[in-house]
Amino acid sequence: MRIGVLALQGAVAEHIKMIEAAGAEGVVVKRTEQLADLDGIIIPGGESTTIGKLMREYGFIEAVRSFNTAGKPVFGTCAGLIILADNIVGNEQAHLCLMNMKVQRNAFGRQRESFETELWIKGIDERVHAVFIRAPLIKEVGPEVDVLATHNGEIVAARQGTLLAASFHPELTNDFRMHSYFLDMVKQAAHSSSST
Ligand code: GLN
């Protein structure tokens, strides 16, 4: 399995390491043509305005949308979660508009810009150490979205079919269970497209 990490801006090398630790090949993605050889892609953390602008400039908005429409999974972490959403609080322009959720950027305020905690993740069904850095929150989700984790009652991880989103940075620990969870989604997607 070949999993790309969108490398326009943000935390790329760490995701590649985790993909490989979880047993797949990690590919640094800088051009849309590379998507054709991938089974799944991760949009990393960083700065969502910058990532969104560069995605537009390099044709990644349409390319990643078609990639997902073709049944291939996409995982957005932190800024990548914001990129996946179809609604951003404050009427900011949404980017991929793939996931039916309303997100709030920098939702923890200045006092708690960065922190670490343990989260119970549905599907992994264990506690996972989670690192939050100027993280967004998912304020509302549509009926097709499955909530995977909450922190103080607020949604911090969710899944909608072949789309996975996490407010935190699963690439910044030594624990690759979130990446393994994504790889399972990719395997399932590959299986269902070959059997149809
Ligand atoms: N605060 C950033 C944004 O709004 C996201 C932070 C991150 O990815 N660590 O884009």
The CATH number of the domain holding residue 72 is 3.40.50.880
Tell which one of 92, 134, 168, 169 to mutate to probe ligand 1, the residue whose CB is within 8 A of the most ligand atoms.
Answer: 134
Question: Is the pTM for the entire model greater than 0.90?
Answer: yes
Average pLDDT on 177-181 reads 98
Nearest CA to ligand 1 atom 4: 105
Euclidean distance between CA atoms 80 and 136, whole angstroms: 10
> Model confidence over 138-155: pLDDT tens digits?
999 999 999 999 999 999
**48 CA distance to ligand 1 middle (Å):** 6
| pLDDT score, position 191 | 87
Whose structure tokens read 């993740």?
121
| pLDDT score, position 196 | 54
Would you name the residues annotated as active-site residues? 78, 169, 171
> Model confidence over 69-126: pLDDT tens digits?
999 999 999 999 999 999 999 978 999 999 999 999 999 876 578 999 999 999 999 9
Average pLDDT on 56-67 reads 98
Q: How far is residue 33 from each of residues 37, 67, 115, 135, measured CA to CA in Å?
A: 8, 11, 37, 30
Q: In 3-state terms, what secondary structure has residue 157? A: strand
Atom of ligand 1 nearest to the CA of 44: 8
The reply to whether ligand 1 has any atom less than 6 angstroms from the CB of 106 is yes
Does residue 160 register a pLDDT over 60?
Answer: yes
Average pLDDT on 47-59 reads 97
Q: What is the DSSP string of 87-145?
A: EETTTBPPSS--EEEEEETTTTTTTTSEEEEEEEETTTTEEEEEEEES--EEEEE-TTP
Total number of domains constituting the chain: 1
Mean residue pLDDT across the chain: 95
**27 CA distance to ligand 1 middle (Å):** 22
Range of the domain at 174: 2-194
Tokens matching residue 131: 């690192």
| pLDDT score, position 108 | 87
Nearest CA to ligand 1 atom 8: 45
Which residues, at least 6 apart from 33, have a Cβ–Cβ distance to it below 8 Å?
A: none
| pLDDT score, position 92 | 85
